[in-house]
Amino acid sequence: MSGINIVASKLDAEEATYRCVVPAGEPWIREIRKGQYFRIVDLKGNQAADTLFYNAHDYSDRYSAQDTIREQKNLYLTTGTRLMSTAGNVLLTIVADTCGRHDTLGGACAAESNMVRYALEKRHMHACRQSFVKAVMEWGRGMSKQDVTSNINFFMNVPVTPEGKLTFEDGVSEPGKYVEMRAEMNVLAVISNCPQLNNPCNAYNPTPIEVLIWERQTL
């Protein structure tokens, strides 16, 4: 797998059985059943959608950035990427992607890491980890901060150079670009629509995303 891999979906948004617009700075949490298709749309462009997945039957088995990267021997997520869990299960497969590249090394922004990265006075600013913690607390079922682990940053561009440097670049996404996944098992999905204002990951203007779900398809 290499380079930018643009693959459009055959699915019609009108036929989705679930649609929800998630405003910037808010979390979204829902179970996705095996066989369902799950799309995230960057409605206005250059908006990071920080995302966690869990095995719906065992939340201790969850999305693993390291296992996903190692299995495909590539740092970036795109069509064909199998999203791996810590126990070695395939949670979902990316089946369409009009953006072409998504990050999973950058992690989620947090009040505390903003203090390190930008200035000690940034603690008050809203951050993805606030949304993730709120979402899993309200979901309950024993979930806590321990379950907020390494995440995917859909629509975010964090290139690594051959010299081992990691940089945050302007997004490669544009209005209407999307990523679509097929659930390979029952999963719990948690999104934080990123409120970061300190770097270009949201083009300094966080905007809404849309989430769509289709029933099992014969494509």
Partner 1 sequence: MGEPTIRWQEMVQPGAAWSHVLKRGTALRITDVEGGANVGAIFYNFECPAERYNIDTLKAQHVALLSKGCVLYSDMGRILCSIVEDTAGGHDPIAGCSNAALVKQKYGESRYQDSRNDYYKNARDSFLIELEKWGLGPRDLVPNVNFFSRLHVDGDGNIAYQPACSTPGSFVELRAEMNVLTILNTCQHPLDPSPKYQPKPVHLSICNVPPPGQDDVCRTFRPENGRGFTLTERYFL
For residue 92, the SS3 value is strand
Q: Determine the Cα–Cα distance for residues 72 and 142; give it in Å rounded to an integer.
A: 32
Q: Of the two residues 11 and 69, which places its CB atom closer to partner 1 in the complex?
A: 69
Phi, psi of 161 (to 5 degrees): -90, 160
Q: Determine the Cα–Cα distance for residues 132 and 149; give it in Å rounded to an integer.
A: 10
Least distance from C-beta 58 to partner 1, angstroms? 9
Least distance from C-beta 87 to partner 1, angstroms? 8
Least distance from C-beta 61 to partner 1, angstroms? 7
Q: Of the two residues 64 and 192, which places its CB atom closer to partner 1 in the complex?
A: 64
Q: Of the two residues 7 and 69, which places its CB atom closer to partner 1 in the complex?
A: 69
Query: Any residues with CB less than 8 A from the CB of 17 and at least 6 apart, and which?
Result: 213, 214, 215
Question: In terms of Cα–Cα distance, which of 87, 45, 81 is closest to 63?
Answer: 87
Q: Of the two residues 149 and 207, which places its CB atom closer to partner 1 in the complex?
A: 149
Instruction: Quickly tell me which residue has 């009009």 as its tokens.
Output: 98
Question: In terms of Cα–Cα distance, which of 70, 52, 211 is closest to 132?
Answer: 52
Least distance from C-beta 9 to partner 1, angstroms? 23
Using CB under 8 A, list all residues that contact partner 1: 1-3, 59-61, 64-67, 69-70, 73-76, 86-88, 101, 105-107, 110, 112-113, 115-117, 119-120, 129, 144-147, 149-150, 158-162, 164-168
Amino acid occupying residue 209 = I
Least distance from C-beta 150 to partner 1, angstroms? 5
Q: Of the two residues 88 and 176, which places its CB atom closer to partner 1 in the complex?
A: 88
